[in-house]
Amino acid sequence: MHHRATPILLAIAGVLVGLYVVEPYVRAYVLSASAPRAVEPRGTLAEFEQTSIALFESVSPSVVQVVALGEQANPFSLSEGSNELRAQGTGTGFVWDAAGNVVTNAHVVGKARRVAIRTATGSFVAAEVVGLAPNYDIAVVRVTGRAAIPAPIPIGSSADLKAGQWVFAVGNPFGLDQTLTTGVISALKRRLPTAAGREISGVIQTDAAINPGNSGGPLLDSAGRVIGVNTAIISPSGTSAGIGFAIPIDVVNRVVPELIGKGRVPTPGIGIIVGSEELAARAGVEGVIIIRTTPNSPAERAGLRGVDMATGVLGDVIVAVNDRAARRLADLTEILEGLKLPTTVSLTVQRGSQRRTVSVEVVDIGN
C-alpha cells in the first residue's frame, strides 16, 4: 500500500510545483488590464482646494510677466525661448487699474525706460515706465496701444494681518509663468533695506515659495485680495528657503497713486544725517542720534544740533514725533512717510539731561 501511494504523491507534488512556477505567467495573462481602466470618481474637492483653485482662476489673468528692454529691443519679436528674452531682467507685475497701469518692483524695471508685458495668454504687448519709487522698491508701468486689459485684482489691507494667515503668491519664478505657491504669514513688521539706502517698514514675511522672477507679483489673502507685493528672499543659494518678503499693500496703495499722477514719490524729511542703531547702542541712548543737519534745512532752521565732532559730545537725539515714540530711524521714517506734505511736526528731542519740544517743517528732500 505504501509503495503504491508514493508515485501518486510524487505526481501531486509535481503538479503543485508546476502550478507554482507557471502561476505568475497565468496571472499576468488572465488579470492584466488590456483596456483603459475605469476612472474612479473622486468626490468633492476639499474646501481649501476649492479656495485655491477659485483664487488662482480669478486672479491669474491679471498677473503678467514684466521684461525690461534695452534701447534696441522689440517687444513684438520676443518669444518664450528667445535669447533676447533670456538676456533681459524679468519679473512679475499685476494689473492695478482699467487704464492699463501695472505694478511691479523698481528693481525689476531698473534703468529701463521701456518694458514688455507678457499676458496670461502668452502674447507680448509694449509698455512704458510711468514712475519708480526705489525707496519702496515699487514701479508702475503702463500698457500702450490698444491691447485688451484684464480686470484689476481687488486689494485688501495690511493693517489687520495676523501671523499664521494663509497666503498665496502668483508669479513667474525662473520665467515659468502663472505659478501659484501657498504658505502662511510667518511674521509681520519686518524691516527691509532697499537699494536706495533706506528701509521699508512693516514688511510681511512669508514661507510661500518666492524665487527669482516672482519679484513684483501679488501676495494674496484667502479672499483673493492683494495684501502685499513680493519683493525679496533670504537664501544663500538664491532660491526659495522659506523666507520671503512682501511690501505691505497699505504702503503700495499710498505710493502707486503718486507714481501714476506725478511719476515720483515725495521723500519726506527734515534734513538730518543720523547715526546708526549700533552707535546709539554704544552711546547708551534710545532714539535717533542727529550726526549733523544739512545746510539751510528745516532741521538747521529749527536749531537742531548734531554731534560735536571735535569732542564727540552728542547734540540732539530725537525720541518722539508728534508724541509717537521714535526709538530708531525706521520709526522716524515710518511716521514721516505717513504725512501729507507740506506739514509741520512736533519733535521731542533730548540734549544732555534736557528734553524739549521743537516744531520742524517736513519737506520733500528728494527734490
Please say if the pLDDT value at position 87 is more than 50: no
Q: Is 137 a catalytic residue?
A: yes
What CATH code is carried by the domain that includes residue 318?
A: 2.30.42.10
Q: Is residue 299 part of a domain?
A: yes
- Shared domain for 278 and 253, answered yes or no, is no
Name the band, by pLDDT with cuts 50, 70 and 90, for residue 218: very high
Write the burial class of residue 21 (CB in 10 Å: 0-12 exposed, 13-18 middle, 19+ buried): exposed
- Shared domain for 311 and 240, answered yes or no, is no
pLDDT computed for residue 83 by the predictor: 40
Q: What is the pLDDT of residues 269-289, one digit of tens each?
A: 899 998 888 888 888 889 999
Residue 97 CB coordination number (10 Å): 16
Of the candidates 60, 62, 137, 207, the residue annotated as catalytic is 137
What CATH code is carried by the domain that includes residue 180?
A: 2.40.10.10
Q: Which of residues 262, 283, 315 is at a domain's end?
A: 262
pLDDT computed for residue 32 by the predictor: 73
Q: What is the pTM of this model?
A: 0.76
Please say if the pLDDT value at position 364 is more than 70: yes
Q: Where are the alpha helices (DSSP H) in the chain?
A: 2-31, 47-59, 83-87, 106-109, 249-262, 277-283, 298-301, 329-337
**193: containing domain:** 166-262
Report the chain's mean pLDDT, rounded to a whole number. 85
Q: What is the pLDDT of residues 7-34, one digit of tens each?
A: 777 777 777 777 677 777 777 777 777 7
298 Ramachandran zone, left/alpha/beta (phi>0; psi -120 to 50): alpha
Q: What is the pLDDT of residues 224-252, one digit of tens each?
A: 999 999 987 655 555 555 688 999 999 99
Cβ proximity of 171 and 214 under 8 Å: yes
Of the candidates 107, 186, 201, 221, the residue annotated as catalytic is 107
Q: Is residue 41 part of a domain?
A: no
Q: Is 323 a catalytic residue?
A: no
User: C-alpha angle with apex 169: 167 to 173, nearest 5 degrees?
Assistant: 150
Number of domains in the chain: 3
Torsion of CA 130, 133, 137, 141, to 10 degrees: 0
Q: Is residue 151 part of a domain?
A: no
- Give the residue from 136, 113, 114 showing the smallest Cα distance to 201: 136
pLDDT computed for residue 121 by the predictor: 85
Q: Which of residues 231, 262, 293 is at a domain's end?
A: 262
Which residue's entry shows cell 509698455? 127
- Shared domain for 59 and 109, answered yes or no, is yes
- Shared domain for 227 and 276, answered yes or no, is no
CA 324 to each of CA 38, 51, 96: distance values in angstroms, whole numbers, following the listed order: 68, 40, 33
Which residue's entry shows cell 552707535? 279
Of the candidates 62, 158, 201, 215, the residue annotated as catalytic is 215
